[in-house]
Structure 1
Amino acid sequence: MSVDPFFLVGTVLCALSLILCVAAVITKTYPGDAAIVSVAVVELFLVVFGIAAGIRQAGGEPVRGEVWEFWGYLATALILPIVAFWWAIADKTRWSNAVLGAVPLTIFVMLFRMEQIWNGAPFS
Protein backbone atom coordinates (compact mmCIF):
# COMPACT_ATOMS: atom_id res chain seq x y z
CA MET A 1 0.00 0.00 0.00
CA SER A 2 1.47 3.35 -1.01
CA VAL A 3 0.92 6.48 1.00
CA ASP A 4 -0.80 9.36 -0.76
CA PRO A 5 1.28 12.59 -0.82
CA PHE A 6 -1.86 14.52 0.16
CA PHE A 7 -2.00 12.47 3.36
CA LEU A 8 1.61 13.35 4.17
CA VAL A 9 1.04 17.08 3.55
CA GLY A 10 -2.15 16.96 5.61
CA THR A 11 -0.33 15.23 8.46
CA VAL A 12 2.38 17.92 8.55
CA LEU A 13 -0.16 20.76 8.42
CA CYS A 14 -2.28 19.20 11.16
CA ALA A 15 0.79 18.66 13.36
CA LEU A 16 1.95 22.26 12.95
CA SER A 17 -1.53 23.59 13.64
CA LEU A 18 -1.85 21.41 16.74
CA ILE A 19 1.50 22.65 18.07
CA LEU A 20 0.48 26.28 17.60
CA CYS A 21 -2.90 25.74 19.27
CA VAL A 22 -1.43 23.83 22.21
CA ALA A 23 1.18 26.57 22.68
CA ALA A 24 -1.66 29.09 22.78
CA VAL A 25 -3.46 27.02 25.44
CA ILE A 26 -0.28 26.75 27.53
CA THR A 27 0.43 30.47 27.36
CA LYS A 28 -3.16 31.12 28.47
CA THR A 29 -3.84 33.67 25.77
CA TYR A 30 -7.07 34.37 23.97
CA PRO A 31 -7.35 32.89 20.47
CA GLY A 32 -4.72 34.76 18.52
CA ASP A 33 -4.02 35.02 14.86
CA ALA A 34 -1.53 32.13 14.82
CA ALA A 35 -4.01 29.57 16.14
CA ILE A 36 -6.88 30.79 13.99
CA VAL A 37 -4.78 31.06 10.83
CA SER A 38 -3.30 27.59 11.38
CA VAL A 39 -6.80 26.11 11.47
CA ALA A 40 -7.70 28.15 8.38
CA VAL A 41 -4.69 26.64 6.58
CA VAL A 42 -5.96 23.17 7.48
CA GLU A 43 -9.36 24.16 6.05
CA LEU A 44 -7.74 25.41 2.85
CA PHE A 45 -5.84 22.13 2.57
CA LEU A 46 -9.12 20.22 2.91
CA VAL A 47 -10.67 22.24 0.08
CA VAL A 48 -7.70 21.47 -2.19
CA PHE A 49 -7.78 17.83 -1.05
CA GLY A 50 -11.47 17.59 -1.92
CA ILE A 51 -10.99 19.11 -5.37
CA ALA A 52 -8.06 16.77 -6.06
CA ALA A 53 -10.06 13.77 -4.84
CA GLY A 54 -12.94 14.71 -7.13
CA ILE A 55 -10.60 15.04 -10.09
CA ARG A 56 -8.92 11.72 -9.28
CA GLN A 57 -12.25 9.94 -8.95
CA ALA A 58 -13.64 11.51 -12.12
CA GLY A 59 -10.44 10.45 -13.89
CA GLY A 60 -11.16 6.83 -13.10
CA GLU A 61 -9.02 6.22 -10.01
CA PRO A 62 -11.02 3.79 -7.90
CA VAL A 63 -11.93 4.23 -4.26
CA ARG A 64 -11.42 0.81 -2.70
CA GLY A 65 -13.81 1.45 0.18
CA GLU A 66 -17.26 2.94 0.25
CA VAL A 67 -17.38 6.13 -1.82
CA TRP A 68 -20.14 7.66 0.30
CA GLU A 69 -18.06 7.09 3.43
CA PHE A 70 -15.03 8.90 1.95
CA TRP A 71 -17.11 11.93 0.92
CA GLY A 72 -18.95 11.90 4.25
CA TYR A 73 -15.65 12.10 6.12
CA LEU A 74 -14.50 14.93 3.86
CA ALA A 75 -17.73 16.90 4.30
CA THR A 76 -17.54 16.53 8.07
CA ALA A 77 -13.87 17.51 8.09
CA LEU A 78 -14.71 20.65 6.11
CA ILE A 79 -17.30 21.69 8.70
CA LEU A 80 -15.09 21.29 11.80
CA PRO A 81 -12.70 24.24 11.24
CA ILE A 82 -15.61 26.55 10.48
CA VAL A 83 -17.38 25.64 13.72
CA ALA A 84 -14.15 26.01 15.72
CA PHE A 85 -13.49 29.41 14.13
CA TRP A 86 -16.90 30.72 15.14
CA TRP A 87 -16.42 29.28 18.61
CA ALA A 88 -13.08 31.11 18.91
CA ILE A 89 -14.67 34.37 17.75
CA ALA A 90 -17.57 34.06 20.20
CA ASP A 91 -15.58 32.84 23.24
CA LYS A 92 -12.46 34.91 23.82
CA THR A 93 -10.90 32.63 26.48
CA ARG A 94 -7.90 30.35 26.35
CA TRP A 95 -10.25 27.37 26.11
CA SER A 96 -11.11 28.45 22.61
CA ASN A 97 -7.53 27.54 21.77
CA ALA A 98 -8.24 24.03 23.08
CA VAL A 99 -11.24 23.82 20.76
CA LEU A 100 -9.08 25.05 17.89
CA GLY A 101 -6.45 22.45 18.86
CA ALA A 102 -8.99 19.66 18.73
CA VAL A 103 -9.64 20.43 15.06
CA PRO A 104 -6.25 19.43 13.56
CA LEU A 105 -6.11 16.35 15.77
CA THR A 106 -9.58 15.26 14.70
CA ILE A 107 -8.89 16.06 11.06
CA PHE A 108 -5.68 14.01 11.15
CA VAL A 109 -7.68 10.99 12.33
CA MET A 110 -10.24 11.64 9.60
CA LEU A 111 -7.48 11.97 6.96
CA PHE A 112 -6.04 8.67 8.12
CA ARG A 113 -9.44 7.04 7.73
CA MET A 114 -9.97 8.65 4.31
CA GLU A 115 -6.57 7.27 3.25
CA GLN A 116 -7.70 3.80 4.37
CA ILE A 117 -10.98 4.11 2.46
CA TRP A 118 -9.30 5.36 -0.72
CA ASN A 119 -6.39 2.93 -0.85
CA GLY A 120 -7.85 0.04 1.10
CA ALA A 121 -7.36 -0.60 4.79
CA PRO A 122 -4.76 -3.27 5.52
CA PHE A 123 -6.00 -3.77 9.11
CA SER A 124 -9.76 -3.70 8.67
Structure 2
Amino acid sequence: MIDGLAAASIICALVVGAACLVQTWRDRPVGVGLLAGTGAVELVLLAQVVGAVVEISRGQHAGQPAVFVLYLIGSVAALPAGVWWSLGERTRWGSAVLGVACVAAAIIVVRLGQVWESTGG
Protein backbone atom coordinates (compact mmCIF):
# COMPACT_ATOMS: atom_id res chain seq x y z
CA MET A 1 0.00 0.00 0.00
CA ILE A 2 1.17 3.50 -0.77
CA ASP A 3 0.33 5.62 2.26
CA GLY A 4 0.20 8.91 0.34
CA LEU A 5 -2.30 7.55 -2.18
CA ALA A 6 -4.36 5.99 0.59
CA ALA A 7 -4.52 9.31 2.44
CA ALA A 8 -5.36 11.19 -0.77
CA SER A 9 -8.14 8.76 -1.67
CA ILE A 10 -9.65 8.95 1.82
CA ILE A 11 -9.55 12.75 1.89
CA CYS A 12 -10.90 13.12 -1.66
CA ALA A 13 -13.69 10.63 -1.03
CA LEU A 14 -14.72 12.39 2.18
CA VAL A 15 -14.67 15.83 0.53
CA VAL A 16 -16.83 14.66 -2.38
CA GLY A 17 -19.06 12.76 0.04
CA ALA A 18 -19.56 15.92 2.10
CA ALA A 19 -20.39 17.87 -1.08
CA CYS A 20 -22.96 15.21 -1.96
CA LEU A 21 -24.53 15.46 1.45
CA VAL A 22 -24.69 19.28 1.11
CA GLN A 23 -26.52 18.76 -2.19
CA THR A 24 -28.91 16.44 -0.38
CA TRP A 25 -29.52 19.10 2.27
CA ARG A 26 -30.12 21.65 -0.51
CA ASP A 27 -32.67 19.26 -2.08
CA ARG A 28 -30.73 18.90 -5.34
CA PRO A 29 -29.95 15.87 -7.49
CA VAL A 30 -26.46 14.84 -8.54
CA GLY A 31 -24.92 17.32 -10.95
CA VAL A 32 -21.97 17.35 -13.29
CA GLY A 33 -19.64 18.75 -10.61
CA LEU A 34 -20.32 15.88 -8.24
CA LEU A 35 -19.87 13.37 -11.03
CA ALA A 36 -16.53 14.96 -11.96
CA GLY A 37 -15.42 14.88 -8.34
CA THR A 38 -16.44 11.25 -8.08
CA GLY A 39 -14.46 10.50 -11.24
CA ALA A 40 -11.38 12.13 -9.71
CA VAL A 41 -11.78 10.02 -6.57
CA GLU A 42 -12.10 6.90 -8.73
CA LEU A 43 -8.85 7.77 -10.52
CA VAL A 44 -7.03 8.06 -7.20
CA LEU A 45 -8.52 4.73 -6.12
CA LEU A 46 -7.37 3.10 -9.35
CA ALA A 47 -3.87 4.51 -8.78
CA GLN A 48 -3.98 2.94 -5.32
CA VAL A 49 -4.86 -0.43 -6.88
CA VAL A 50 -1.96 -0.13 -9.31
CA GLY A 51 0.35 0.81 -6.45
CA ALA A 52 -0.81 -2.19 -4.41
CA VAL A 53 -0.22 -4.51 -7.36
CA VAL A 54 3.29 -3.09 -7.77
CA GLU A 55 4.02 -3.59 -4.07
CA ILE A 56 2.78 -7.18 -4.25
CA SER A 57 4.93 -7.82 -7.32
CA ARG A 58 7.94 -6.60 -5.31
CA GLY A 59 7.36 -9.35 -2.77
CA GLN A 60 5.36 -7.60 -0.08
CA HIS A 61 2.08 -9.13 0.98
CA ALA A 62 -0.94 -8.77 3.23
CA GLY A 63 -1.71 -11.18 6.03
CA GLN A 64 -5.00 -12.15 4.42
CA PRO A 65 -4.44 -11.96 0.66
CA ALA A 66 -8.01 -12.91 -0.30
CA VAL A 67 -9.48 -10.27 2.00
CA PHE A 68 -7.02 -7.69 0.67
CA VAL A 69 -7.95 -8.44 -2.95
CA LEU A 70 -11.66 -8.24 -2.14
CA TYR A 71 -11.15 -4.86 -0.47
CA LEU A 72 -9.20 -3.68 -3.52
CA ILE A 73 -12.09 -4.71 -5.76
CA GLY A 74 -14.62 -3.13 -3.42
CA SER A 75 -12.70 0.12 -3.28
CA VAL A 76 -13.01 0.64 -7.04
CA ALA A 77 -16.51 -0.85 -7.34
CA ALA A 78 -18.28 1.25 -4.69
CA LEU A 79 -18.25 4.55 -6.57
CA PRO A 80 -19.45 3.27 -9.97
CA ALA A 81 -22.30 1.49 -8.19
CA GLY A 82 -23.14 4.70 -6.34
CA VAL A 83 -23.03 6.76 -9.54
CA TRP A 84 -25.26 4.27 -11.33
CA TRP A 85 -27.79 4.31 -8.51
CA SER A 86 -27.69 8.09 -8.09
CA LEU A 87 -28.29 8.67 -11.81
CA GLY A 88 -31.33 6.41 -11.63
CA GLU A 89 -32.66 8.38 -8.66
CA ARG A 90 -32.91 11.95 -9.96
CA THR A 91 -33.98 13.46 -6.64
CA ARG A 92 -32.10 14.67 -3.60
CA TRP A 93 -31.77 11.05 -2.54
CA GLY A 94 -29.53 10.35 -5.51
CA SER A 95 -27.07 12.81 -3.99
CA ALA A 96 -27.43 11.04 -0.65
CA VAL A 97 -26.70 7.67 -2.25
CA LEU A 98 -23.56 9.03 -3.91
CA GLY A 99 -22.47 10.60 -0.62
CA VAL A 100 -22.85 7.27 1.17
CA ALA A 101 -20.88 5.54 -1.62
CA CYS A 102 -18.05 8.06 -1.19
CA VAL A 103 -17.96 7.55 2.58
CA ALA A 104 -18.06 3.78 2.03
CA ALA A 105 -15.09 4.04 -0.36
CA ALA A 106 -13.13 5.97 2.28
CA ILE A 107 -13.94 3.34 4.91
CA ILE A 108 -12.93 0.54 2.55
CA VAL A 109 -9.55 2.21 1.97
CA VAL A 110 -9.03 2.55 5.73
CA ARG A 111 -9.81 -1.14 6.15
CA LEU A 112 -7.55 -1.97 3.20
CA GLY A 113 -4.69 -0.27 5.01
CA GLN A 114 -5.44 -2.17 8.19
CA VAL A 115 -5.34 -5.50 6.38
CA TRP A 116 -2.07 -4.50 4.69
CA GLU A 117 -0.45 -3.37 7.95
CA SER A 118 -1.50 -6.53 9.78
CA THR A 119 1.67 -8.24 8.49
CA GLY A 120 3.98 -5.28 8.59
CA GLY A 121 3.70 -4.97 4.77
Q: TM-score, normalising length from structure 2?
A: 0.89
Q: Structure 2 matches for 1:74-85, cutoff 5 A?
A: 74-85=72-83
Residue identity matched to 1:58: S
Distance 2:40 2:69 in 1: 20
1:16 to partner: Cα distance = 1.0
| Partner residue, 2:102 | 104
Aligned length: 119
* Aligned-residue offset at 1:19: 1.6
Partners of 2:5 and 2:47 within 8 A in 1: no
- Provide, for residues 50-71 of structure 1, a one-character-per-residue CA deviation record: whole Å limited to 9, x for no partner: 11100111011232x2011011
Instruction: Please name the residue that 1:37 is paired with.
Output: 36
Moved over 6 A (4+): none
Taking the aligned partners of 1:62 and 1:91, their CA distance within structure 2 comes to 40
Give the aligned partner of residue 23 of structure 2: 24
Q: Which residue of structure 2 lines up, in the alignment, with residue 91 of structure 1? A: 89
Match of 2:12 in 1: 13
Deviation at 1:17, TM superposition (A): 0.8
- Extract unaligned runs of 5+ from structure 2: none
Q: Quick one: distance in 2 between partners of 1:23 and 1:79?
A: 23
Gaps of 5+ in 1: none
Cα RMSD (Å) of the superposition?
1.8
Cα offset, 1:8, TM superposition: 1.2
TM-score (norm 1): 0.87
Q: Which residue of 1 aligns with 2:61?
A: 62
Give the drift of 1:14. Answer: 1.4
> Does the CA contact (< 8 Å) of 1:43 and 1:78 recur in 2?
yes
Amino acid at match of 1:28: D
% same residue: 21
Q: How far has the Cα of 1:29 moved from its partner?
A: 0.9
